[in-house]
Structure 1
Amino acid sequence: MISELRRTIRRQQLREMIPLADSTIYEMEQRGEFPQRFALSARCVVWDLAEVEAWLQQRRTTPIRRAQHPDVAKRKTRPVKGRDRVP
């Protein structure tokens, strides 16, 4: 039986479709939030185009929660000073 051939894309094509940094995509892959890449050879990694397109469609239809603002009072460097109090 011949299985259906699925189209793959290389890194440059992925960058044109997904405007995220390579490190962000890698981290999302590690967390299971982005389709996994696979190696065609020792120097060539690709993504399944259908999986990437499905991920894009899912992102368009599902709202994404915004990250909370960090508590700047807990910074170790350049901590925020207390507000001046007027007597």
Structure 2
Amino acid sequence: MPGTAAYEALPQFPSHSSLPFRRTIRRGELRQIIPLADTTIYEMERRGEFPRRFNLTPRCVVWDLAEVEAWVEQRKQVPRSGVSKPDVHLRKTRPVRTGSSEG
């Protein structure tokens, strides 16, 4: 797991090298970190709201782990006060009746 001594000792992070080795992750690892659907991630990438993936080979797509972790940290800092809940009275299926305790 990131942040552990075993993780930092992985060969992707050589401390004596002058080259900037960065760990990349494939789709399976990304799904473990980011609990969003693939289509949501693709749409966010297209809009520039999520780190872009890149191809290592024609059949291997990866994301930069440092960029993904930075994105998560950035999302943690966003204030939640501007987020509004959907109006349940406007639902087409299972609408809430007037006078209900829900809402």
Normalised TM-score (structure 1): 0.72
Any idea what SS the aligned residue of 2:45 has?
Answer: helix
Q: Which structure 1 segments of 5+ residues have no match?
A: 76-87
Q: Within the alignment, does 1:66 sit opposite 2:83 as a pair?
A: yes
2:29 — aligned with what? 13
The normalised TM-score by structure 2 is 0.62
Report the residue type matching 1:66 in the other structure. V
User: What is the aligned partner in structure 2 of residue 32 from structure 1?
Assistant: 48
Deviations 1:18-40 (A, max 9, x none): 00000000000000000000000
Q: Specify which structure has the bigger relative contact order, considering alpha-carbon pairs within 8 angstroms and separated by 6 or more residues.
A: 1
Structure 2, unaligned runs of 5 or more: 1-17, 93-103
Root-mean-square deviation (Å): 2.4
Rg comparison, structure with higher value: 1
Number of residues of Structure 1 aligned to a counterpart in Structure 2: 75
Match of 2:61, SS state, is strand
